[in-house]
C-alpha cells in the first residue's frame, strides 16, 4: 500500500482502494451533469409511459368488450363524438 504524506490512515486506505480499482470515490462534474440530464429525460419519459398506459387500457377495453360481444357501437360513437369538457361532470 502506498503511503501518502499528510493523509490520515483511513484516507490512505481509501486512496489505496481507489488506486486498486482505478476509480475515484468522488464523481467529476461531467458525471454529475450526465446524471442530471438522465433524471430530466426520465421525468419526461415517465409522463410518456403514463400516457401510453392510459391509451393502451382504453384500446384493450374496447377490444375485449367487442370480443365478448358486449360493445354497444352506437354508445361508443356518441361518447367519442362528444368528449367531456373541463367544466362538465360525468354524473347525470
Where do we find the cell 391509451? 55
Show me where the domains of the chain are located.
27-81
Q: Is 69 left (phi over 0), alpha (psi -120 to 50) or beta?
A: left
Measured distance CA(25)–CA(15) in Å, rounded? 9
Q: How far is CA 14 from CA 4, 6, 32, 40, 53, in A?
A: 11, 14, 21, 32, 46
Q: In terms of pTM, does the model score above 0.75?
A: no
Where does the pLDDT of residue 1 fall: very low under 50, low under 70, confident under 90, or very high at 90 and above? Answer: very low
Measured distance CA(47)–CA(41) in Å, rounded? 10
> What is the per-residue pLDDT across 66-87, written as a single tens digit (0 to 9) for each?
999 999 999 989 888 877 777 6
61 or 36: which leads in pLDDT = 61
Amino acid at each position: 500500500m502506498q503511503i501518502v504524506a499528510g493523509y490520515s490512515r483511513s484516507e490512505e486506505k481509501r486512496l489505496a482502494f481507489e488506486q486498486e480499482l482505478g476509480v475515484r470515490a468522488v464523481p467529476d462534474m461531467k458525471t454529475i451533469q450526465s446524471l442530471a440530464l438522465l433524471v430530466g429525460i426520465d421525468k419526461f419519459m415517465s409522463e410518456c409511459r403514463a400516457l401510453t398506459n392510459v391509451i393502451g387500457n382504453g384500446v384493450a377495453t374496447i377490444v375485449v368488450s367487442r370480443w365478448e360481444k358486449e360493445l354497444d357501437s352506437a354508445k361508443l360513437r356518441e361518447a367519442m363524438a362528444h368528449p367531456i369538457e373541463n367544466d362538465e361532470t360525468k354524473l347525470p
